[in-house]
Amino acid sequence: MGQDLFDLTGRRALVTGSSQGIGLALARGLANAGAEIVLNGRDAAKLAEAASGLGGSTHQLAFDATDHGAVRAAVDGFEAAIGAIDILVNNAGMQHRTPLEDFPADAFEQIMRTNISTVFNVGQAVARHMIKRQAGKIINIASVQTALARPGIAPYTATKGAVGNLTKGMATDWAKYGLQCNAIAPGYFDTPLNAALVADSAFSAWLEKRTPAGRWGKVDELVGACVFLASNASSFVNGHVLYVDGGITASL
């Protein structure tokens, strides 16, 4: 047992939104644990650049995760041509910061599609194949905002709350088929999505005081949680939201 519990050799992992940031870091971490990686994004050029950095037998699967039909076609085509997707990391997402009273309706619809519909679209498409095999791992990327709100991002908070509950729903429906469906909820990490906040010295100072660990997270610090949830080590973990946040949700 021991390290074998975390060995992903012989498994294939699809990571959505993986051309940069958290998605790329998780793809790299899963590859280092032995998994064969399928990168996803809408920009084929960015995907190719990310794949060149991973090396090995890395696949590139360009599709728009907000398009249900395109997702189904891409996943079904990949399974038929290449083989099984054993692990899915639903990472695609976006942020839009505006006070709620001024939040544009089109931006609200876009963030719902990007942060919630993608989890449903890709999760369903991949799960249909996993169910036939009676095995699979689905890891949804939630957020500290699954549990907490802060000013200016109410719709984002709503989407991440939905991701947490959709994860529980996936586990409730699909555990009987041998699937483990869980979520990772990152705290504040230094990523392209948070670039404006990282550059804001006042916000960074507030965050360091608010977070028991006293700092921003580094994306590589999410890898251990992802490998755990993707591996045999989590064979009886289902419907769980794992906060990786430096303690921010534990303290006032």
**Domain boundary assignment for the chain:** 2-244
205-217 per-position pLDDT tens digit: 999 999 999 999 9
140-187 per-position pLDDT tens digit: 999 999 999 999 999 999 999 999 999 999 999 999 999 999 999 999
The DSSP call for residue 171 is H
- Going by C-alpha positions, the residue among 193, 190, 184, 188 that lies closest to residue 211 is 188
**Sequence-separated (6 or more) residues with CB below 8 Å from residue 69:** none
Instruction: Please tell me the pTM assigned to this model.
Output: 0.96
Q: Kindly report the backbone phi and psi dihedral angles of residue 83, in degrees, each rounded to the nearest multiple of 5, phi listed first.
A: 145, -170
Torsion-angle region of 180 (φ positive above 0: left; ψ -120 to 50: alpha; else: beta): beta
51-95 per-position pLDDT tens digit: 999 977 899 999 999 999 999 999 999 999 999 999 999 999 999
pLDDT higher than threshold 70 for residue 2 = no
What b/e sequence results for 17-31 when a residue is b if at least 16 CB atoms lie within 10 Å of its CB, and e otherwise? bbbbbbbbbbbbbbb
179 and 135 in contact (C-beta within 8 Å)? yes
Question: Which CATH class name applies to 2-244?
Answer: alpha beta
Clarify whether 188 is annotated catalytic. no
